[in-house]
Chain A
Amino acid sequence: GENVEQHPSTLSVQEGDSAVIKCTYSDSASNYFPWYKQELGKGPQLIIDIRSNVGEKKDQRIAVTLNKTAKHFSLHITETQPEDSAVYFCAASIEETSGSRLTFGEGTQLTVNP
């Protein structure tokens, strides 16, 4: 089955700096890669996703890049703000039917210091 590794497990940055979180996946058949933000005591919130036919996607301060050959994908947050502090999870799945499930990374605790 799919295995997703995520690094780093913790990341501390100063407000205004950029943050990068990296994930690798094992199953070359995976073709959908979402990123979730989870605040304490809440469910994960989808912040951005990318399909394997695209190498990069950007949404305001957030961007995701995908390297299919190397099986790497990364989340980039620019101009970080204290409210970006949360746990971020990457995930991978095979886009087929509504039953296909997500395999999650172990999460990254991001702390943005004011």
Chain B
Amino acid sequence: GAVVSQHPSRVICKSGTSVKIECRSLDFQATTMFWYRQFPKKSLMLMATSNEGSKATYEQGVEKDKFLINHASLTLSTLTVTSAHPEDSSFYICSARDPYGRPRAFFGQGTRLTVV
């Protein structure tokens, strides 16, 4: 149980285009999901907290219009990188909290985004 699936695992896009990354909780409902960005050999940086049925909460310094988050259902949150630029290239990871109220967080496989 508590499996989080992220898609795609890798994506290459051209500068100026938009890319959507999906995060699904496969066997449980997640009212809250988290989106992280990770640079090479660095730790995970929280970008935003995705709340089902309401607006996402963004961390300081993260552009809301650049990184659009939608959490339209209890099993799906999406991150759209709009007008992507090479500096947006990174490893993006989502997570969801344990469905049984415990504080554990489970992570997706991550998405390697390369903007050329």
Contact = CB atoms under 8 A, between A and B. Distances in A.
B12 interface: no
A42 B31 CA distance: 24
A11 to B, nearest CB: 14
B43 A105 contact: yes
Size bracket, chain A contacts: 20 to 34
B26 interface: no
Contact of A98 (B31, B44, B106): B31
Interface string B26-51: 00000110100000011110100101
A95 B102 CA distance: 8
Contact of A44 (B49, B107, B112): B107
Contact of B103 (A42, A89, A93): A93
B106 A41 contact: no
A42 B44 CA distance: 12
Interface residues of B, number: 25
Contacts of B105: 34, 46, 102
B28 to A, nearest CB: 12
Contact of B104 (A42, A49, A101, A106): A49
Q: Is the interface of A mostly helix, strand, loop or mixed?
A: loop
A46 B104 contact: yes
Given A43-B93, A89-B43, A100 B109 contact: no
Contacts of A34: 103-105
A95 B34 CA distance: 16
Given A98-B97, A101-B49, A107 B43 contact: yes
B53 to A, nearest CB: 14
A42 B106 contact: no
Interface of A: 32, 34, 36, 41-46, 49, 51, 89, 93, 95, 98-102, 104-107, 109
Given A43-B109, A46-B104, 7 more contacts: A41-B110, A43-B4, A44-B107, A46-B106, A99-B49, A101-B46, A104-B44
